[in-house]
Structure 1
Amino acid sequence: MDSSDSAPAADRLRVDGVLVQHFRESGLSGPRWDQFHRQLLGHGLTIVTKLVRSGAIFARSGRNGRYLQQQEIPRQEAEELASDAVYEGFVYFRDRGLLGREWSVEKGQPLNEYFVNACVLAFPNVYRRWQTRAHGWQDVRLVDTLASLEHVVAEGTPEDAVIEQQVANAAFATLSEDTRRLLFLHDQGYSHAEIGELMRLTPRAVEGRIRRARLAVRRRPEEER
């Protein structure tokens, strides 16, 4: 790197250092943090989605010592995987990089690069969970549980409705607390963006998690019948 390249890089690091100091002092709150947070997630989602779609993220994971068996990922699934990796990468970035003071100017890595690398580090766990879910959902018939309940109430006996409701409740009980909260907010009319703000997720991640939770809930009543 010649002097013409090193000067802008050093300037960028100095700006990042001032930002990080401000964020740490403010407890990661305030309008400047909110703006930075949104911009960072948008930047990360753009980069990581491209890495997942192209398959380049597998090579980057391997360079980090996390080797994965690559398989073809449908386009929509790639976007969801990228969203989940960005969310989990942000948690790492926030908790360890900023609050844990793992990031510093002296280490010479700009914030944006540090964040994208955190997302890459998060990807293997996200990918393995996706593989497990994809294998388990091969034979899932996409029947809406709520619509099924309405059908039973309209055409079945009261006893059928009670049994169906118990099965649905049992299915929802298997979901994590965060997932139940997400579905509750969605049922109350909150938009994906609003849910994302409340739960520190990107809107696309909210959409993907709602879809996966519904698949899980739909499958359970079918198996119990």
Structure 2
Amino acid sequence: MGSSDSALAAERLRVDGVLVQHFRESGLSGPLWDQFHRQLLARGLQIVARLVSSGAMFSRCGQQGRYLQRQDIPPQEAEELASDAVFEGFVYFRDRGLLGKEWSVDHELPLTEYFVNACVLAFPNVYRRWQTRVNGWQDVRLVDTLASLENVVAEGTPEDAVIEQQAVDAAFAALSEDSRRLLFLHDQGYSHAEIGELLRLTPRAVEGRIRRARLSARRHPDEER
């Protein structure tokens, strides 16, 4: 690193130190914090999304001693995994780095890089939850069952509606607990943002998970209907 680069890095750290001191004194509140918060999340999501989609995230995790069994991730789900990692990484960054005073100028690590490292540390748990959910999904046709129930209630007999409701209950029970919770809140009229606040997810992640929960189930045994 040349003298010019060293000077720029030192100035960047100095500015970060001033910012952090202000944030800590203000209790992470105020317009400056709000602006910094938004910019940090946006920048972090760009970086982490590239790491996940390229597969470089697995190498970064390995460098941190967190080795993962790599599995192909569809592009859309890679973005959702990145979003979750950024959210959970920010919690670490906020609670430990800023409020817990883990970050300091002496570490010679700019805030953005510290935040990305926090997201890398958060990724293994996010990835393992995704693996469990994907590999454990039940193959049931929930959407078709719900649509069929609406038709039966409108046109069929009460007995038909009871039978169809039992099929819906069985399909709903076959979903994971997270998927059931998401669908329940969604059907109760909660917005994606409201669900995100309750479950500590981004609205975009909520939208994707609701979509996957409804489409995850592709076959419901006829004998149960």
TM-score w.r.t. the length of structure 2 is 0.80
Task: Find the aligned partners of 2:148 and 2:23 in 1 and give their Cα distance.
Answer: 49
- The within-5 A match list for 1:104-115 is 104-115=104-115
The structure-2 alpha-carbon separation of the partners of 1:222 and 1:101, relative to structure 1 and needing over 3 Å to count, comes to farther
State the match for 1:100 in structure 2: 100
Task: Find the aligned partners of 1:61 and 1:137 in 2 and give their Cα distance.
Answer: 26
The structure-2 alpha-carbon separation of the partners of 1:110 and 1:134, relative to structure 1 and needing over 3 Å to count, comes to same
State the match for 2:133 in structure 1: 133
**Given residue 204 of structure 2, which amino acid in structure 1 is its aligned partner?**
R
Q: Are positions 1:184 and 2:195 aligned together?
A: no
Q: 2:183 touches 2:213 (CA, 8 Å); kept in 1?
A: no
**Given residue 188 of structure 1, which amino acid in structure 2 is its aligned partner?**
G
Alpha-carbon distance, 1:182 to partner:
8.6
- The within-5 A match list for 1:1-225 is 1-137=1-137, 139-141=139-141, 143=143, 146-158=146-158, 161=161, 164=165, 167=169, 171=173, 175=177, 180=181, 184=185, 188=189, 190=191, 192=192, 201-214=201-214, 222=220, 225=225
Moved more, 159-168 or 58-67: 159-168
The structure-2 alpha-carbon separation of the partners of 1:132 and 1:21, relative to structure 1 and needing over 3 Å to count, comes to same
Root mean square deviation, CA, Å: 3.4
Alpha-carbon distance, 1:157 to partner:
3.6
- Please give the per-residue CA displacement for 1:92-146, whole angstroms capped at 9, x wherever unaligned: 1111111111111111111110111111111111111111111122634352565
Higher gyration radius (CA): 2
Gapped runs of 5+ residues in structure 1? none
- Please give the per-residue CA displacement for 1:49-96, whole angstroms capped at 9, x wherever unaligned: 111111111111100001111122111111111111111111111111
TM-score w.r.t. the length of structure 1 is 0.80
Gapped runs of 5+ residues in structure 2? none
Alpha-carbon distance, 1:211 to partner:
2.7
Over the matched positions of the two proteins, sequence identity in percent amounts to 75
Q: 1:172 touches 1:180 (CA, 8 Å); kept in 2?
A: no
The structure-2 alpha-carbon separation of the partners of 1:145 and 1:31, relative to structure 1 and needing over 3 Å to count, comes to farther
* SS of the residue 2:70 aligns to: coil
Task: Find the aligned partners of 1:13 and 1:72 in 2 and give their Cα distance.
Answer: 37
